[in-house]
Amino acid sequence: MNEQTFSADWLSLREPFDDAARTRAWPSLAPLALGQAADDRRIVDLAAGTGANLRFLAPRLGGNQRWRLVDHDPVLLISARRQLTDWALRRGARVSSDDQQGLTIDAATFKLHAEFVPLDLAAVEPLVAIGDATLVTASALIDLVSVTWLQRWIDACARTGTDVAFALNCAGHAHWRPADEDDVAVARAFSAHHRTNKGFGPAIGPEAADLAAQRLAAAGYTVATADSHWSIDAPSTAMLQAMVDGHARAATEMSDSPEVISRWRGRRQADIEAGRLALVVGHRDLWASADRSAIRRSG
C-alpha cells in the first residue's frame, strides 16, 4: 500500500471523523459487543496505524484488556505508542511502560496492556497472529483486502472462536454537496481505483462490510452492522481538501479523461474556498460474536 496515504498526519486528520461516525454506529453494535461481558479481553488490532481503534474501543469495552497492535509500518507503531500515552494522560489515567516497549494504561473504567507488533499482514499466517485472542478487530482495512484474504481470516477466527469487529469499512458512495456534473465520472474512476491491489490481492472495495457479514454469518457468527458514514461540513476545510485531492489523484490514475478530473478538482477547490462544499462518505461497521459453544480451539 502507499505509505503516503497512511501517514500519521492523515490518520490524525481523519480520526475525529472516524470517532464521530463510530459513535453514531455504536448503539447498534454495543449489545453484541458487550453481551458476553468479558472482563479479560485479548484483542488483536490488524493494521492498527496510530492506535485509533484502541482509543475508540477501550473505554467502551471496559474491564481488563490486553491489546496487540499489528502494523507493517514501524513509524506508525512508534507514533501509536506516543499518541496512546498522550491520550491516556489526558484522561487522567496512569501510564507505565515495560522492558519490551509495551504500555500499561490504568484508567478509571478500564485497565489495559498494549504491545506493538511490526508484521506484514499480507504474509502472516492468521492462526499465528490470532494466538489466544478473544477479539480480532480492524478499522479502515477490510475494503482494502481481497476476498481470499478476508475468508482466510474469517476461517481462522471461526476455528478459534474469536469475535470479530471490522469498523469504518468504506462503503463507496461519496455524496458531494452542491452536486457537480462530473461527480459521477469521478466516482466511477475512484471506485475502479478502490478495487485495485493494495498489497492483499484485488481489493473488495465498497461491498466489504456486507460480504464480511455474510461470510461470518455462514461461519456461525451472530452479526450486527451499522452505518458509520463520515459527515464532513464546510468548516472542515483540511479534511475536505484531503478528500478532493485524494479523489482527484485516484480518479486521474484510472480515468480515460484526466482533463475532466482536473476541471472537477478546480471547481471543487473553488467550492472549498467559498465555504460551500460538504461531503458524506459511506462507511459500515460490523461486530460479529462467535458461538462459544462451537469453539474448536485445539490444544
Ligand X SMILES: C[S@@+](CC[C@H](N)C(=O)[O-])C[C@H]1O[C@@H](n2cnc3c(N)ncnc32)[C@H](O)[C@@H]1O
Q: Which residues bind ligand X (CB under 6 A)?
A: 1, 6, 11, 47-49, 52-53, 71-73, 76, 120-122, 139-141, 199
Residue closer to ligand X by CB (options 14, 66) is 14
**Separation of alpha carbons 1 and 3, rounded Å:** 6
- Our CB check for ligand X shows the closer of 16 and 35 to be 16
Q: Is the CB of 13 or the CB of 185 nearer to ligand X?
A: 13
Distance in Å, CB of 29 to ligand X, minimum = 16
- Shortest spacing between CB 161 and ligand X, in angstroms: 24
Structural contact between residues 56 and 32, judged by C-beta atoms closer than 8 angstroms: no
CA-based nearest residue to 205, from 256, 142, 163: 142
CB of 140 to ligand X, least distance (A): 4
Question: Residue of minimal CB distance from ligand X?
Answer: 49
Q: What type of residue sits at position 25?
A: A
Residue 4 CB coordination number (10 Å): 8
Q: How far is the CB of 94 from ligand X (least distance, A)?
A: 25
Please classify residue 166 by burial: count the beta carbons closer than 10 Å to its beta carbon, then call 0-12 exposed, 13-18 middle and 19+ buried. buried
Between the CA atoms of 131, 51, 204 and 252, what dihedral angle is there, to the nearest 10 degrees? Answer: -150
Q: How far is the CB of 297 from ligand X (least distance, A)?
A: 24
Could you tell me the end-to-end alpha-carbon distance of the chain, in angstroms, rounded to an integer? 36
Residue 61 CB, shortest distance to ligand X, in Å, is 16
Q: From the CB of residue 97, how many other CB atoms can be counted at a distance below 10 Å? A: 12
Least distance CB 4 / ligand X (angstroms)? 11
Whichever of 77 and 219 has its CB closer to ligand X, that residue is 77
Strands 222-227 and 230-232 come out as: unpaired
**Closer CB to ligand X, residue 241 or residue 269?**
241
Residue nearer to ligand X on the CB measure, 75 or 185:
75
| Residue 35 to residue 29: CA distance in whole angstroms | 10
For residue 272, give the nearest of 171, 180, 173 by alpha carbon. Answer: 180
Locate 245 and state its grid cell.
485531492
> Smaller CB distance to ligand X: residue 140 or 158?
140
Grid cell, residue 176, equals 458531494
